[in-house]
Amino acid sequence: MVVLVAEDHDFQRRTLVRMLKTLGAKEVLEAKDGLEALTILKQSGPVDLLICDLDMEQMDGMELIRNIGQADSVGADSVEPGSVGAVIVLSGHERSLLDTVAKMARAYGVKLLGAIDKPLTLDRLRNVLDVHGQQVAAAEPWHQFSVGEILDGLRLGQFDAFFQPKVSLSTGQVAGAEALARWHHPEFGLVGPIAFVPPLEQAGEIEELTFAMLGQAAAACRQWAELKSGISVSVNISPTSLDDPGLAERIAAVTSAAGLDPRQMILEFTETAAIGNTGVTLENLVRLRMRGFGLSIDDYGTGFASLQQLQLAPFSELKIDRSFVTGWADNPSSRAIVETSVQMARQLGFRSVGEGVETEADWNMLKDAGCDMAQGYFIARPMAQAQFLTFLMQETGLT
Ligand code: C2E
Ligand code: CA
Ligand code: CA
């Protein structure tokens, strides 16, 4: 792994370099500000990771992020798209500001792994790298796979659905689980969706993954239902799949082949401006709903769905994005967003789910807001199917 560090404070930069070497970085390049970082990127080629301070003289972290982002690839200073695999920012500023920086990075098309509060410690650095590394191959997390390699892996059966429980906030009982795709790569170990979902979506090949996950999720839920009646399984569907007029029928066929009642399956669509805006997408949504499938709006609050779209499309669940949940219990504006979303969901007749519940404080905030369900590391991380079955058996008192 090649890392570039941009930090104007000499001592802090040296400390960071030492920590990265301790954590096993192969090569660490150093820059005193954004300008020097860009020069290095142009001269020595792509890096896997950029760690940059937000406040630097000459060119600060934000300008640097803009210049490595794809959105501004015509700027005089900008480098080739793809020169930087991912970015971590360092800052002494408050969290709400870092959150805006994260949004900004996303808008510039830059993959932000996280922010580290100063003072920098080995633990903090390890944590940010771990959040990423835990789910993704530890050896080479930023390897770029070609669509061909991904499809080969799929056809060889190397992809598994992992399951993360969704729990009722009032009873603490498991209500269902979300299927999250994982690739058991023969060389790189366990690889997470960020490495294969976007390339498949861009190539128009996401359906092969979608249907593999639907099949596994339906079969798994069928099995869980014997332990717990009414349990549901959620599957992520790319919004572009809704453009296919045959989608609803194909999903129904997979579910019925597994012997699962469609009412036990929830389909999650990320909130985008496109949802329910064309005839075909609406037809698919209505067909799915008529057959009994649950329809969920994922990552609510990050997209641009209008209230009218929410009201007109036949959704049954609203998942509040984790950027409003994780670590925000003490923040009045974030609480207000959560409360408003929960109330709106209730008035529209949807169930509400809070994502990214990492602590008891996150859990309590959702509970106080009247949210129906919670999902997150505080309850459990996504786990392999066999492990989820054990989890469920423990919960239902069968072991
Ligand atoms: P998502 O649908 O929002 O899924 C939740 C993501 O948040 C998962 O990441 C999960 O591991 C992570 N997560 C859960 N609890 C916590 C928490 O408490 N804190 C934090 N920081 N994160 C938490 P994962 O598995 O890496 O998936 C990332 C995204 O990839 C998913 O986001 C979903 O949009 C997409 N994805 C996953 N599987 C599929 C799939 O089969 N098809 C499609 N189209 N997309 C998928
Ligand atoms: Ca989801
Ligand atoms: Ca989500």
Which residue's CA is the closest to the ligand 1 atom numbered 42? 236
Relative to the CA of 375, which ligand 1 atom is closest?
A: 15
Which residue's CA is the closest to the ligand 1 atom numbered 20? 356
Pocket of ligand 1 contains residue 358 by CB under 6 Å: yes
Q: What was the pLDDT predicted at 139? A: 34
3-class DSSP assignment, residue 295:
strand
In angstroms, rounded to a whole number, what is the distance separating the alpha carbons of residues 325 and 126? 23
Tokens encoding 368: 């106080």
Q: What was the pLDDT predicted at 354? A: 98
pLDDT-derived band at 48, boundaries 50, 70, 90: confident
In angstroms, rounded to a whole number, what is the distance separating the alpha carbons of residues 21 and 3? 10
pLDDT-derived band at 134, boundaries 50, 70, 90: very low
Helix (H) or strand (E) holding 282: helix 279-290
Task: Find the range with the poorest average confidence among 94-98, 278-282, 283-287, 335-339.
Answer: 94-98
Strand 47-53, strand 84-91: pairing: parallel
CA of 216 from ligand 3 middle (Å) equals 20
Which has the higher per-residue pLDDT, 132 or 104?
A: 104
The rounded mean pLDDT for the chain is: 88
Pocket of ligand 1 contains residue 209 by CB under 6 Å: yes
Other CB atoms within 10 A of residue 298 CB = 24
In angstroms, rounded to a whole number, what is the distance separating the alpha carbons of residues 203 and 146? 10
Instruction: Give CATH for domain 147-396.
Output: 3.20.20.450
Highest mean pLDDT among 44-58, 67-81, 153-167, 268-282: 153-167
In angstroms, rounded to a whole number, what is the distance separating the alpha carbons of residues 271 and 383? 25
Which residue's CA is the closest to the ligand 1 atom numbered 4? 180
**Positive or negative: CA dihedral 376, 381, 383, 386:** negative
In angstroms, rounded to a whole number, what is the distance separating the alpha carbons of residues 276 and 290? 15
Which has the higher per-residue pLDDT, 146 or 301?
A: 146
Pocket of ligand 1 contains residue 197 by CB under 6 Å: yes
Task: Find the range with the poorest average confidence among 23-32, 111-120, 165-174, 182-191.
Answer: 111-120
Query: Are 2-137 and 147-396 the same fold in CATH?
Result: no
Ligand showing the shortest atom-to-Cα distance for residue 160 = 1
CA–CA distances in Å: residue 266 to residues 113, 166, 176, 344, 351: 29, 12, 9, 20, 12
In angstroms, rounded to a whole number, what is the distance separating the alpha carbons of residues 143 and 195? 8
Compute φ and ψ for 7, nearest 5 degrees.
-155, 125
The residues with which 88 forms a beta bridge, in sequence order, are 51, 114
Q: Where are the domains of the chain?
A: 2-137, 147-396
Distance from the Cα of residue 397 to its chain's centroid = 32
Contact residues for 45 (Cβ-Cβ < 8 A; gap 6+): 83
Q: Half-sphere exposure of 16 toward its Cβ, with a 13 Å CA cutoff?
A: 28
Question: What is 7-58 written as a DSSP string?
Answer: -S-HHHHHHHHHHHHHTT-SEEEEESSHHHHHHHHHHH--EEEEEEES--SS
E strand intervals along 118-155: none
pLDDT at 236 over 90: yes
Mutate to test the pocket of ligand 1, among 95, 111, 135, 180 (most ligand atoms within 8 A of CB): 180
Tokens encoding 166: 């969704």
Q: Half-sphere exposure of 254 toward its Cβ, with a 13 Å CA cutoff?
A: 23
Query: How large a percentage of the chain has pLDDT more than 90?
Result: 58
| Region 356-362 average pLDDT | 94
Pocket of ligand 1 contains residue 181 by CB under 6 Å: yes
CATH superfamily of 2-137: Response regulator (3.40.50.2300)
| Region 207-216 average pLDDT | 98
Active-site residue numbers?
Answer: 355
CA of 42 from ligand 1 middle (Å) equals 33
Angle at 307 between CA 301 and CA 308, to 5 degrees: 145
